[in-house]
Amino acid sequence: MTMLTRPEGPESSDLHVTRRGFAALVAAGYAAAAVGADAAPIATPSDGLALAMVTMPGGLPGYVARPAGNGRHPVVIVVNEVFGLHEYIRDICRRFARLGYVAIAPEFFFRNDPGNSLASTTDFAVIKRIVGAAGNDQVMGDVGTTLDWLAAQPFVDARRLAITGFCWGGGVVWMAAARFPQLKAGVAWYGRLAPPKPGEPVTEVRKYPLEIVGDLKAPVLGLYGGLDKGIPASDVAAMNAALAAAGKTGSRLKLYPDAEHGFHADYRPSYNAVDAADGWSLLLAHFKANGVGPGQAGGQP
């Protein structure tokens, strides 16, 4: 098992290996490169939900979870970590669906990983190569494709759209919030904020949140860990300062002093149940405060 402590993947000093229970969790669909053998991931029941894999224009796959039956619902786009569309991301979609949302997780890496090797490989060189091939223009194009597809669905309230993402996906949230006025709110979980320093690997989207603060069109809540080895607390402070200077009063970052990178990922050793629960509560409150809550005006619950 690999201890993922940075948004771009681990360094050799980060590695910690154990095997007990590993096979069972991988067989259940969790990413082999980061799963914790002793983990007990949240398993959200699917009764009362409509679940489907869909193919959007351009061949873009996506996992959709929503309440069964008729009615239009608010939407959350869920952006994956470096491991693609694996069971943790699908379960997050089901959690949102049980709360009354339509949740969709696009598979952003499908072009360079048609066999979904991200879920099964433990070779981080392979992971970095696949993820690094997904540049900002492609990723933003896929977000746009997803928004267009959602607008045509009878179960979607297109006036209530939000986005959240984890690790690599946290950076995507910031970039999407600066690109798409359709989005009403975003929540970024420990996505890189600043460009890599000289000598660091460049494996994420090719632009970074600190470079586009003034372009934000939707308020973003950032949730970060004080023990993150790849995102220093100074970057979090710089982002908060940049948001204030740009007058983006609806956006802010919260730093959890005792949390590591990946503290929401309940299948990893980095999972911090207390901070994950607090962050989830703040996410729901942020969505609701910006009109993207189930039962709010603008659509049927």
How many domains does the chain fold into?
1
Q: Could you confirm whether 228 is annotated as catalytic?
A: yes
Q: Could you confirm whether 73 is annotated as catalytic?
A: no
Q: Where are the alpha helices (DSSP H) in the chain?
A: 22-27, 87-98, 124-132, 136-151, 168-179, 233-245, 273-289
The tens-digit pLDDT sequence of the chain (301 residues) is 344 444 554 443 333 333 445 455 555 565 544 555 555 778 899 999 999 999 999 999 999 999 999 999 999 999 999 999 989 999 999 999 999 999 999 999 999 988 777 877 778 888 889 999 999 999 999 999 999 999 999 999 999 999 999 999 999 999 999 999 999 999 999 999 998 777 665 554 457 899 999 999 999 999 999 999 999 999 999 999 999 999 999 999 999 999 999 999 998 889 999 999 999 999 999 999 999 999 765 433 2
Q: For residue 7, is it within any domain?
A: no
Q: Could you confirm whether 167 is annotated as catalytic?
A: yes
Q: Residue 33 corresponds to which tokens in the numbers above?
A: 């490169």
Phi, psi of 158 (to 5 degrees): -70, -5
pTM exceeds cut of 0.85: yes
State the Cα angle at 187 between 181 and 193, rounded to 5°: 95
Q: For residue 33, is it within any domain?
A: yes
Q: Which of 113, 142, 167, 266 is catalytic?
A: 167
Q: For residue 271, is it within any domain?
A: yes
Domain that includes residue 148, residue range: 12-289
DSSP annotation of 117 reads G
CATH number of 169's domain = 3.40.50.1820
Q: Which of 261, 264, 266, 286 is catalytic?
A: 261
Q: At 148, is the secondary structure helix, strand, or coil?
A: helix
Q: Which of 113, 228, 266, 275 is catalytic?
A: 228
